Amino acid sequence: MTVNGEIKFSPEELARYSRHLILPEFNIEGQKKLKQAKVLVVGTGGLGAPLLLYLAAAGVGTIGLVDFDVVDDSNLQRQVLFTRDDLGIPKVIAAKKRLEALNPFIKIIPHQTALTSDNALDIIRDYDVVADGTDNFPTRYLVNDACVLLGKVNVYASIYRFEGQATVFNYKNKAGELGPNYRDLFPTPPPPGLVPSCAEGGVLGVLPGILGSIQASEVIKVLSGVGEPLSGRLFLFDAATFETRTLKIKRRKDNPLNGENPSQTGLIDYQQFCGFEKPTDQAEKLPVKSINVKQLQELIDRNANIQIVDVREAYEYEIANIHGELMPKSEVTSHVQKISKDKQVIVHCRSGKRSADVIEMLQEKYGFDNLYNLEGGILAWAKEIDQSMPTY
Amino acid sequence: MAKIIIPTPLRKFTSNQAAVAVQEGTVLESIRDLTQQFPDLDKHLFNEDQKLRGFVRIFIGENDIEDLEGQETRVNPGDTISIIPAIAGGL
């Protein structure tokens, strides 16, 4: 509650936040700052789950959530906000219910949408701090650019397999000095496909729990003014080796948003920036031919003279395979001699995406014209041909 | 020798080694030693003009080589070089 513009707490709130109130550096002043703050969490997934639970528990007064997705089985390994009862429900709705149950004294604002160049400035404008828990490069650059353009702090973390990164971008310290942002650290994104998403490359379930908690801690520090935020420093954590490093990062003169000669004054097309849209000169690229799993079964049944190439990783092959020759996507070019140029060659992966990329590359660079993508990959095979096959 | 820590996304090009021992000298010489040991890495670290790609940063100890003498920065025996690529996962 606010009385004459001053933040007040009910007796229930004072009891709830007592461990903060007795913290010497934090006390009621820090708690007031949390209560009047508005934080936007983009992505209510692995990072978003612990981040939101701790921000809500800590008493951040207004929390916005952005996510377009619904809760899925495969989320529950790490997205501890959700339970089986939430399956199929929009994440922002399930999260709102959970967070309100945890803390009825705060306001939760769901934005059930993907963050895009069209809506990002309007959504972010109303908040003080943004915490980025998204899962792809276009959205990472979008969140960063919108925060820099609007002058918002961007509390950042990202994860891959066993490894995590965290930092605080676009933070102005008490001396008024502005810290670096994402474009100072990584001026350009990696080409599509080099750094797979967690959906393709996997992630240790507890890892986003650790990194998301670090994000929550940094958000609370930024809001309360307690401690030294992780600005100008990049924290790295490898859960596999328990190696941690904290590296120094600085602003760059050539940052297009706020370097010496800024060239970008608005949001751009981030899909294109990250290379996901094909430039027009590639429009003549050969289409990727494909066959479905039933057609493949017929070929196998009549002992047709075909070659099956499996472009997944060895550990995926161990889970389930259809006796293809294993040539992981990243190593295909070193196995190219083994791929027949005469026979019909069926290339497959888990779902059909990686194999289509491989075929496109082999057609373009090596002139193959006998490659066929298996539609739906080994998942389709498990669903339609061999139901005893494990899926993953 | 110096040590280069290989980040997860690039370990598929180093036979899954998390750290590789390399010759000291300049940063460029140390990284060239790495890419000679693991040639597939080269195109992921350098562009056609042999410049380091924009999604990769190189640190010696805790310092970005861009804040030192770039690829000519001296690497001493026992130094740790970190290759830091952009990763985006979060869901």
Predicted TM-score (pTM) of the model is 0.79
What mean pLDDT do residues B29-53 have? 90
Enumerate the β-bridge partners of residue B75.
B25
Beta strands in A184-299 (DSSP E): 233-238, 243-248, 290-291
Nearest CA distance, B60 vs chain A (angstrom): 9
How many CB atoms lie under 10 A from the CB of residue B66?
17
Which residue segments constitute the domains of chain B, with CATH numbers given? 2-85 (3.10.20.30)
Nearest CA in chain A to B90: A135
pLDDT band at B46 (very low <50, low <70, confident <90, very high): confident
Residue type, A262: P
A249 to chain B: which residues are within 8 Å by CB?
A: 64
Q: Say whether residue A81 is in contact with chain B using an 8 A CB cutoff.
A: no
Res A280: pLDDT: 47
B83 to chain A: which residues are within 8 Å by CB?
A: none
Q: Which value does ipTM take for this structure?
A: 0.92
DSSP reduced 3-state for A107: strand
Res A4: pLDDT: 61
Res A194: pLDDT: 73
- Kindly determine whether residue A250 and residue B67, on different chains, have CB atoms separated by under 8 Å: yes
B64 to chain A: which residues are within 8 Å by CB?
A: 247-250
- Kindly determine whether residue B90 and residue A135, on different chains, have CB atoms separated by under 8 Å: yes
**Among candidates A212, A210, A199, A196, which has minimal Cα distance to A244?**
A210
Nearest CA in chain B to A236: B84
With an 8 Å Cβ cutoff, the interface of chain B facing chain A consists of 5, 7-9, 12-13, 18, 40, 44, 53-55, 57, 59, 62-64, 66-67, 82, 84-91
DSSP reduced 3-state for A290: strand
- Kindly determine whether residue B13 and residue A45, on different chains, have CB atoms separated by under 8 Å: no
Q: Give dist(CA A242, CA A19) in Å, integer.
A: 30
A252 to chain B: which residues are within 8 Å by CB?
A: 66
And the tokens for A248?
A: 């120094």
Q: Say whether residue A136 is in contact with chain B using an 8 A CB cutoff.
A: yes
Nearest CA distance, A140 vs chain B (angstrom): 7
Q: Give dist(CA A160, CA A361) in Å, integer.
A: 25
B62 to chain A: which residues are within 8 Å by CB?
A: 245-248
Nearest CA in chain B to A163: B8
Scanning the structure block, which residue is given the tokens 């370990």?
Answer: B11
Give per-residue pLDDT as tens, A34-48.
Answer: 999 999 999 999 999
Out of A158, A240, A247, whose CB is closest to B59?
Answer: A247
And the tokens for B10?
A: 């690039």
Across the A:B interface, residue pairs with CB atoms under 8 Å apart total: 121
- With 0-12 / 13-18 / 19 or more C-beta atoms within 10 angstroms meaning exposed / middle / buried, residue A300 is middle
Res A44: pLDDT: 96
Nearest CA distance, A384 vs chain B (angstrom): 29
Q: Say whether residue A205 is in contact with chain B using an 8 A CB cutoff.
A: no
- Kindly determine whether residue A252 and residue B55, on different chains, have CB atoms separated by under 8 Å: no
Give per-residue pLDDT as tens, A227-274.
Answer: 999 999 999 999 998 999 999 999 999 999 999 999 999 999 999 999
Enumerate the β-bridge partners of residue A163.
A160, A238
Angle at A83 between CA A80 and CA A84, to 5 degrees: 140
Nearest CA distance, A158 vs chain B (angstrom): 5
**Among candidates A244, A238, A229, which has minimal Cα distance to A203?**
A238
**pLDDT beneath 50, residues of chain A:** 279-283
Report, as residue numbers or ranges, the catalytic residues of A: 198, 349
**Among candidates A76, A106, A105, A110, which has minimal Cα distance to A94?**
A110
Res A283: pLDDT: 45
B52 phi, psi to nearest 5 deg: -60, 135
- Kindly determine whether residue B91 and residue A43, on different chains, have CB atoms separated by under 8 Å: yes
Out of A165, A189, A246, whose CB is closest to B55?
Answer: A189
Dihedral sign, Cα of residue A309, residue A310, residue A314, residue A319? negative
Residues ≥6 apart with Cβ < 8 Å to A221? A227, A228, A229
Res B53: pLDDT: 86
Nearest CA distance, B25 vs chain A (angstrom): 22
Give per-residue pLDDT as tens, B76-88.
Answer: 999 999 999 999 9
Buried b (16+ CB within 10 A) or exposed e, A241-256: eeeebebebebbeebb
Q: Give dist(CA A174, CA A206) in Å, integer.
A: 34
What mean pLDDT do residues B28-32 have? 93
Res A232: pLDDT: 98
DSSP state of A62: E
